[in-house]
Amino acid sequence: MLALEEHAGLVRADHDLPTSDLMNERLAAGQGMSRPELSVLLSLAKIAVTAELLESPLVDDRALESELLAYFPGPVVARFGHLVWDHPLRRELLATLLAGDVVDTMGQSFVFRRALEFGATPSAVVRAT
Amino acid sequence: MARDVCGAPALFAAVEAAEVAPDLRWELSATVQDAVRQVSRWYLRRDGATGDELRVMVAQHRAAAQAIIDRAVQHPDDEQVHAWRVAGAPEPLLVAVSSCRLLPLAPYLADASTRHSCGLPELVDAVDALREQIGSTRLRRSWLGSPPARR
């Protein structure tokens, strides 16, 4: 949550997420976040990473074409695969796919924490990951 | 890149699909996650290649990762693997996940192979000899714990 507050403008109260004090109380009681809270954070992390990627040149890198092709059904790729890179929503699709993959497999805070650790942009972290 | 080099998407899918206890699933998943996390460090320390250059680099690193996996598969036994086996992990899955643990070395070996014109198999042999001597866990710790300048 701290990373999302710093990098993605998260306002906890807007999403009924616990304050730091409440989290400290929970931790002292051996508790963590509830599943609904984690689900909200997961969604917010994906939205934040997607927004970062849309502002970066990463989604214009042709090396990621295979990721884009994998999104479309086989018969579409077989007939129109050569046109997929020119899809008008190519950048949005790639950003959403990449953000979803990275957040799902590496966790909600991974991208922004790594960015902080290495002084890198979130898109550089996604690219490296 | 790191996920491609580690073959992580397939591994994550295999861990998700396995019928194992939640704790074991978490541990196997965390092992793959850790490999991706460590490999990604290599790329974060270097300027970004793009396009064809990126594809070639990932292919080289993936080849190094595969060479490490092929060698590791021949020696799948250590304490951690044994614990996973006892906990009920299917053999192919635990072999695949345990092979991940040395994948953070893949970009370094591929890079050294290119820069010093030495064969990748010889480098992997050297790493394997070291692994045999000190064990996967210690090798991994000593490698990842060493300062970047010595790598």
Band (pLDDT 50/70/90 cuts) for residue B4 is confident
State the ipTM, two decimals.
0.75
B27 Cβ neighbours under 8 A, 6+ residues apart: B84
The predicted pLDDT at position B48 comes to: 62
Mean pLDDT estimate for chain B = 81
At B102 the pLDDT is: 82
Residue B75 has pLDDT above 70, yes or no: no
Q: Which residue has the tokens 């497999």?
A: A105
Here the contacts of A33-37 (C-beta below 8 Å, separation 24 or greater) are none
Interface residues of A toward B, Cβ cutoff 8 Å, are 57, 61-63, 101, 105-107, 110, 114, 118, 120, 124-125, 127-129
| A-to-B residue pairs, Cβ atoms closer than 8 angstroms | 49
Model-level pTM? 0.80
pLDDT at B148: 40
Cβ-defined contact of B44 to A105 (cutoff 8 Å): no
Tell me what pLDDT residue B107 has: 87
Q: In this structure, what token pair is assigned to residue B45?
A: 């320390």
Tokens of B3: 């996920």
DSSP for A21-57 reads HHHHHHHHTT----HHHHHHHHHHHHHHHHHHHHTSG
The three-state secondary structure class of B22 is helix
Contact yes or no for A110/A102 (Cβ under 8 A): yes
Retrieve residue A42's tokens.
């997961």
SS3 assignment, position B147 = coil
* Contact residues for B117 (Cβ-Cβ < 8 A; gap 6+): none
pLDDT tens for B87-137 read 888 888 888 888 888 888 888 888 888 888 788 888 888 888 887 787 777
